[in-house]
Chain A
Amino acid sequence: MNEPRPPLIKAPDSVWASLEAALNRGEKPRVERTRGRPPVLPLLIGLAAVIAAVGAAVAAYSWARTQKPQWEVVRVEGSPSIGSQRIGDTARIAEGQWLQTDGSSRALLNVGDIGTVQVDPNTRLRIVAARPREQRLALARGGISATVNAPPRLFFVDTASSTAVDLGCAYTMNVDDSGNGVLRVTLGWVSLEWNGRESMVPAGASCLTRRKIGPGMPVFDNATEPLKKAVQSFDFDNGGNGSVDTILNEARVRDTLTLWHLLSRVDSSQRSRVYNRMIALVPLPADLSADKILRLDRQELDRWNQELAWKW
């Protein structure tokens, strides 16, 4: 007999993006119940014990539920859902739960008492940690706008290609199905981190991220288009010396932000060119050592970063 066969549905890229992010966080699968068909008699005996314990269990569950770290979710528009359940005007979302919006939905997350996250349409995110010392969500796809007023390194957004570490700021983060993203900072600073690679992004600047590569270099939004394209080419398309030439030619005083990141990402043969361009734009403070900077001494680079930041 010919039988109707259901069509195979392709898994969306967001599944791998979420999976990869989970693996990078060292996440373990949820614990399963023990399986197998238990003997009937022990089951009946156990059932009696279970019934006797129901009252206590319900009380314990209720207590645990109230204690479990949660954020408040406010429906702004449409029908956001937690898991597969559409929410009302407000709801609570706990660690491990997914929040999803469709094309006509928006939501607002109250992140403890430290800030808010606006959730754009077509977004899927999960609450990873909702604790006083760590507030963390994983953005699988879509967009968010975060406004945080808290000590640095308390609020984190994981994606498949970076972790955005809040340093006291407001910003937007957008991620596509493949895990690539873009961060735009509107207030304060954000540190984008990935496998030892770090990009410091101040207000007015943006930074692209790519899966398997991590964050590129930050660029001010009012930089020239050739500079922006050259940075993208250098970061993600093996743009090489041609890209470096364009970046150096197009850089303004403010773009020493990008050059400071470029300094440690070019090979040694190009480093002195970048350095010379930087000191032509902003003279090196007298108490800093050019030798140490060219050797990529971390402390010296950080001190120079702090001086240059006055121009950013």
Chain B
Amino acid sequence: MSVVSLLEKNQAEEGPTPQADTIEACRRGDREAFRALYEAYKDKVYSICLYYFHGDASAAGDAAQQVFLKLIAGIARFRGDSEFSTWLYRLVVNTCTDGSRASRARARRAQAAELDRFPAADSHEDDFARAQQARRVQAALSTLPPKFRLPILLRYFEDLSYEQMASSLNCSMGTVASRLNRGHKLLARKLEGLR
């Protein structure tokens, strides 16, 4: 099985888009509504943070926690001018970027020894080779510079449009398109051995 096909299932794993009433209840301080939002987005947010921080589960967990703390602290100011997911992923991008600024050491490129820091993807024990390939893709992705890595993560985990990504990344759509293109090329080059 190719790496391409075995890693194409993420879109199917997406959770439901939160309803307006869930967001409204969250604004009112409803803890259960907040939990529902958390459940809908936790894996995507955590995954982006994990890839961003080179598989450092501690940093990713801390960043994901900060994202949701910011969400609950700022949801009263979310007016619905943009889509909820766009707003949420702006929080993710800002939190990751801030986390990286706070600890430049994390921004270094992942070394070969760091491959093991990624948890194995959901896989059965008899599918060891598949898990190994998946981990190589994860590691290759984590070596991309952040400006290429973030658009790719946003596209794969949330399938945001160029306009939404531009809003989340605070840049133009042209810049998004350019970074996605270059990011894909870099990734493809790093994965040539797997194709």
Given contacts A27-B69, A84-B105, contact A32 B94 (CB under 8 A): yes
Task: Check A29–B121 contact: CB distance below 8 A.
Answer: no
**In the bound complex, do residue A84 and residue B103 qualify as a contact, i.e. CB atoms below 8 Å apart?**
yes
The answer to whether A15 touches B170, judged by C-beta atoms less than 8 angstroms apart, is no
A23 to B13, CA, bound (A): 28
Question: Known interface pairs A15-B65, A18-B65, A23-B72. Does A5 touch B8 (Cβ–Cβ under 8 Å)?
Answer: yes
User: What are the residues of chain B within 8 A of A9 when measuring CB–CB?
Assistant: 43, 46-47, 50, 118-119, 121
* B64 A11 Cβ-Cβ under 8 A: yes
| C-alpha gap A279/B141 in the complex (Å) | 69
Q: Is the CB of A8 within 8 A of B47?
A: yes
List residues of chain B with CB within 8 A of the CB of A18: 61, 65
The answer to whether A84 and B170 have CB atoms under 8 Å apart is no
Tell me the bound Cα distance from A85 to B31 in angstroms. Answer: 34
A contact residues, total (Cβ < 8 Å):
35
Q: Which of A30, A37, A84 contacts B106 (CB 8 A)?
A: A84
With CB as the reference atom, state the residue of chain B lying closest to A81. Answer: B58
* Known interface pairs A2-B4, A10-B46, A11-B46; A19-B134 also in contact (CB < 8 Å): no
List A contacts of B9 (CB < 8 A).
5
27 contacts between A and B (CB under 8 A): A1-B184, A2-B5, A3-B188, A4-B187, A5-B7, A5-B9, A6-B47, A6-B51, A6-B138, A7-B10, A8-B44, A9-B47, A9-B50, A10-B46, A11-B45, A11-B64, A14-B61, A16-B42, A32-B98, A33-B101, A35-B170, A37-B170, A83-B59, A83-B103, A84-B59, A84-B103, A85-B103
Where the two chains meet, the residues of B that have a C-beta atom closer than 8 Å to any C-beta of A are 3-5, 7-10, 13, 31, 35, 38, 42-47, 50-51, 53, 56-59, 61-62, 64-66, 68-70, 72-73, 94-95, 98, 101, 103, 105-106, 118-119, 121-122, 134, 137-138, 141, 152-153, 156-157, 170, 184, 187-188, 191, 194
